[in-house]
């Protein structure tokens, strides 16, 4: 049996695959692997290590990739028990991140878990490797290769952490009496036995957004688990993040975006990363949309907290519902059953039986 499965959708512009070939030669050195390149070859891949390797042309579109994504979305169990990572090589300065998080979202719905920072992306110029290259004292291409090799190692060595009494941190910026999303959380919470749950509200007026301090300033405060702004983020949220085993984001979708205070929280986590990485902490979310667009919010959480801030993205990390009028979430057919199933999914990931 091979060490991993590489899903590398066929690219019709073979001249644009040369750099990705070089990255993969370095990244996969020492491992055995099978390759899936076409939709005809795609199949259920339960309990495997998966590496998605994507070549994107200038348009950011790989037609074979979207055929495979279609198959993934139609088979919600095809990656059950899998652990995955993504390498995307682009031929422009755009699209690598958006394609990566769309793919991660679809695979996650089908059962794939992604460790923290599961996306390695190369834009055409490789300017996105300027900082990494300086830190490693190498050129951008060498930094890209180093990142690819580190990702594969991370996938292969991933060991999901579990605890006897896991600590769950719940963050929200909602009104208790009116919020459908908090009402949904209450349905889920009552099934989370043997967990220590902390809920923190970061409603209006309590959170300042990141202003992009100079690196040395951010590092100075971050190394003591602090931030130049202070406030509820430093006094309550930072200590709770350090202590928790899982983060649950309560995300109502009003305007096809994470709400302002929750977005500010994600931005402010940059300072805490100087003190502590989050590779052993899980990310979950409850997302309730008034109309549509829960997938957009879910992908923002994936890119912000999993791909950037290093939280584990466990399989089926988000429960997504549609409800508009206050309290209407409780009237949805089957909502109690789905809430219980989502709670069981959380426990399956974090609770050591």
DSSP assignment of 83-120 equals EEEEEEE-SSSSSHHHHHHHHHHHHHHTTEEB-SS-EE
Domains of the chain by start residue, with CATH: 4-157 (3.40.50.360), 167-350 (3.40.50.360)
Of residues 98, 124, 249, 113, the one with CA closest to residue 188: 249
CB proximity list for 57: less than 8 A, separation 6 or greater: 11, 13, 16, 91
- Helices within the chain (DSSP H only): 18-27, 63-74, 96-109, 130-136, 140-157, 180-189, 215-222, 231-232, 238-243, 260-273, 294-301, 335-350
The per-residue pLDDT string of the chain (353 residues; one tens digit each, 9 = 90 and over) reads 899 999 999 998 777 799 999 999 999 999 999 999 999 999 999 999 999 999 998 999 999 999 999 999 999 999 999 999 999 999 999 999 999 999 999 999 999 999 999 999 999 999 999 999 999 999 999 999 999 999 999 999 999 999 999 999 999 998 777 899 999 999 999 999 999 999 999 976 667 666 666 666 666 465 656 666 667 888 899 999 999 999 999 999 999 999 999 999 999 998 898 788 899 999 999 999 999 999 999 999 999 999 999 999 999 999 999 999 999 999 999 999 999 999 999 999 999 98
pLDDT for residue 15: 72
Beta partners for residue 250, in sequence order: 286
Distance CA 95, CA 102 (A): 10
pLDDT for residue 16: 77
Query: How much is the pTM?
Result: 0.96
């Amino acid at each position: 049996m091979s060490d991993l499965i590489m899903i590398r959708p066929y690219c019709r512009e073979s001249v644009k695959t040369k750099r990705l070939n070089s990255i993969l030669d370095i990244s996969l050195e020492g491992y055995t692997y099978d390759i899936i390149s076409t939709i005809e070859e795609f199949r259920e891949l339960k309990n495997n290590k998966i590496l998605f390797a994507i070549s994107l042309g200038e348009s950011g579109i790989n037609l074979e990739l979207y055929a495979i994504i279609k198959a993934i979305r139609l088979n919600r169990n095809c990656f059950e028990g899998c652990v995955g990572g993504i390498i995307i090589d682009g031929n422009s300065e755009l699209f690598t991140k958006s394609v990566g998080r769309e793919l991660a979202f679809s695979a996650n719905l089908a059962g794939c878990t992604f460790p923290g920072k599961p996306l390695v992306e190369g834009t055409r110029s490789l300017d996105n490797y300027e900082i990494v290259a300086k830190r490693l004292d190498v050129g951008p291409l060498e930094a890209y290769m180093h990142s690819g090799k580190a990702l594969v190692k991370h996938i292969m060595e991933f060991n999901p952490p579990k605890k006897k009494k896991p600590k769950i941190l719940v963050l929200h910026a909602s009104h208790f009496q009116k919020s459908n999303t908090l009402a949904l959380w209450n349905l889920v919470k009552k099934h989370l036995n043997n967990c220590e749950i902390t809920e923190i509200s970061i409603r209006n007026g309590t959170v300042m957004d990141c202003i992009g301090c100079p690196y040395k300033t951010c590092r100075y405060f971050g190394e003591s688990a602090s931030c130049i702004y202070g406030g509820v983020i430093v006094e309550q949220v930072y200590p709770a993040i350090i202590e928790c085993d899982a983060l649950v984001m309560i995300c109502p979708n009003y305007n096809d975006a994470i709400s302002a205070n929750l977005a500010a929280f994600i931005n402010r986590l940059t300072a805490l990363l100087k003190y502590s990485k989050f590779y052993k902490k899980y990310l979950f979310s409850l997302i309730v949309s008034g109309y549509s667009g829960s997938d957009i919010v879910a992908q923002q959480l994936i890119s912000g907290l999993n791909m950037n801030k290093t939280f584990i993205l466990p399989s089926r990390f988000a429960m997504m519902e549609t409800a508009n009028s206050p309290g209407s979430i409780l009237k949805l057919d089957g909502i109690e059953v789905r809430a219980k199933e989502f709670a069981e999914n959380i426990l399956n990931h974090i609770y050591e039986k």
